[in-house]
Chains A and B, each alone.
Chain A
Amino acid sequence: MTLRRIRLVLWTLVAFALVGVLALQWAGRRPEPPQPPFRPDFALQDEAGRTYGMEDFRGSFALVFFGFTNCPDVCPTTMSEVAQVMDDLGPEADKVRPLFISIDPERDRRQGLAGYLAAFHPAILGLAGDGAATQAATESFKVHFGREEDPAAPDGYSMSHSPGLFLVGPDGEWLRQFPYETPAAEILADIQERI
């Protein structure tokens, strides 16, 4: 009698445990509570010295890249994709503004940012502020960059940086990241769907 009772208690416990596990799994499947909108920003200058912030691009999508022009592999690859997206947008290209934010602003200003970017696509706006403004812009977009001393590199250093592309909506809200090497067609399809 007692044995049977113990068995019953144990089985009841097992049943409770199973219900608990299932409940936890169900709770885990529920969507995350909505996050407050994330609106990254910056105050950086173009080659003519005009200061831009994200509010200057309200009403259009912004496709934002952080890079440097002494970067012969990652940056041209991504800028080519951005240029392809702009070409393929056709008449809707005026609804998207591609931005190149320099994380090597002093050298990029000296060597000319606008002429370099125009070779990819005339719509790409190059921005390069001072050190503090650049730091603030990267923190706002939550991207990382660093300077790597390298005696063999031009000017004795190279830069490391987040190679993704960021899409910001017409209301200034951060929408998504396209990881490095996302094909242009995929970026295009995503933007066209939102337009």
Chain B
Amino acid sequence: MKHLATALGLAVTLPLAAVAECASVSAGGLTVTGAWSRATIGNERPAVFYVEIRNEGETADRLTGIDTPVAAMTMLHRTVVEEGVASMPHAEAVEIPACETVGLAPGSHHGMLMGLTAPLTEGESFPVTLQFERAGAVEIDTRVLSIRAQEAQCDAG
């Protein structure tokens, strides 16, 4: 009974948290913020992962992979439009140069979440662990926005 109450409480607070501030996690010179995904219809199709990575340090870093309990398989991709044809080849890693902000964002790099364990529902959130070459593992809470969302929805940067 107590567990049920806790679960219900969590279910209520998660959507509420979604309209507040975006989670922000720092590790070394890196700040990871504004993680979001789009709601999915069912769990057969791959979902997407977008995030912003600020490097305020003086050394470059690289994002080499992502991991999440909501997907059986994850991968870094890059959307490329070449001679009028769009494709999304694998990206071995995403370079994070010193003193720069790099986004996994629509039309550029994105995380692919394949083999979803359940559909992603708008208003919920799930953890994603980003693996950096230097800064190590950074876990961030990722908000599921509308399937029509085009960018992170944060109160303040």
Q: How near does chain A come to B150, taking the closest CB pair, in angstroms?
A: 6
Q: How near does chain A come to B120, taking the closest CB pair, in angstroms?
A: 11
Chain A CB within 10 A, most for which of B46, B84, B86: B86
- Contact in complex: A152, B75 (CB < 8 Å): yes
- Contact in complex: A154, B115 (CB < 8 Å): yes
Q: A76-B147, A154-B114 are in contact. Are A164 and B44 (CB under 8 A)?
A: no
Rounded to whole angstroms, the CA-CA distance of A182 and B129 in the bound complex is 33
- Contact in complex: B86, A119 (CB < 8 Å): no
B140 cross-chain contacts in A, Cβ below 8 A? none
In the complex, how many residues of chain B place their beta carbon closer than 8 angstroms to a beta carbon of chain A? 30
Query: Is the CB of B90 closer than 8 A to any CB of chain A?
Result: yes
- Contact in complex: B107, A74 (CB < 8 Å): yes
Q: How near does chain A come to B92, taking the closest CB pair, in angstroms?
A: 13
A60 cross-chain contacts in B, Cβ below 8 A? none
162-189 of chain A: CB within 8 A of chain B: 162-164, 180-181
Query: Is the CB of B73 closer than 8 A to any CB of chain A?
Result: yes
Query: Is the CB of B79 closer than 8 A to any CB of chain A?
Result: yes
- Contact in complex: A73, B44 (CB < 8 Å): no
**A interface bracket (residues with beta carbon within 8 Å of B):** 20 to 34
Rounded to whole angstroms, the CA-CA distance of A69 and B107 in the bound complex is 16
Query: Is the CB of A80 closer than 8 A to any CB of chain B?
Result: yes
A150 nearest CB neighbor, chain B only: B90
Contact with A along B33-45 (1 / 0, CB 8 A): 0000011011011
Q: How near does chain B come to A108, taking the closest CB pair, in angstroms?
A: 10
Rounded to whole angstroms, the CA-CA distance of A94 and B84 in the bound complex is 30
A164 nearest CB neighbor, chain B only: B84
- Contact in complex: A111, B44 (CB < 8 Å): yes
Query: Is the CB of A135 closer than 8 A to any CB of chain B?
Result: no
Q: How near does chain A come to B8, taking the closest CB pair, in angstroms?
A: 27
Contact with A along B95-121 (1 / 0, CB 8 A): 000000000001100101011000000
Quick one: which of B47, B84, B87 contacts A72, CB cutoff 8 A? Answer: B47
- Contact in complex: B85, A152 (CB < 8 Å): no
- Contact in complex: A76, B85 (CB < 8 Å): no
Rounded to whole angstroms, the CA-CA distance of A181 and B77 in the bound complex is 18
Query: Is the CB of B20 closer than 8 A to any CB of chain A?
Result: no
Quick one: which of B47, B75, B88, B149 contacts A80, CB cutoff 8 A? Answer: B149
136-169 of chain A: CB within 8 A of chain B: 144-146, 148, 152-154, 158, 160-164
Given A74-B79, A84-B148, A181-B107, 12 other A-B residues pairs in contact with their CB atoms under 8 A: A70-B45, A72-B38, A72-B45, A72-B110, A72-B112, A80-B147, A120-B148, A153-B114, A154-B45, A163-B81, A163-B86, A180-B81
7 closest Cβ pairs, A-B complex: A160-B87, A72-B48, A163-B86, A80-B148, A77-B106, A119-B147, A116-B41
20 contacts between A and B (CB under 8 A): A71-B88, A74-B86, A74-B88, A76-B38, A80-B147, A80-B148, A112-B42, A116-B45, A119-B148, A144-B84, A146-B85, A154-B45, A154-B114, A158-B88, A161-B86, A162-B84, A163-B85, A164-B84, A180-B86, A181-B107
Chain B contact residues, CB within 8 Å of chain A: 38-39, 41-42, 44-48, 73, 75, 77, 79, 81, 84-88, 90, 106-107, 110, 112, 114-115, 147-150
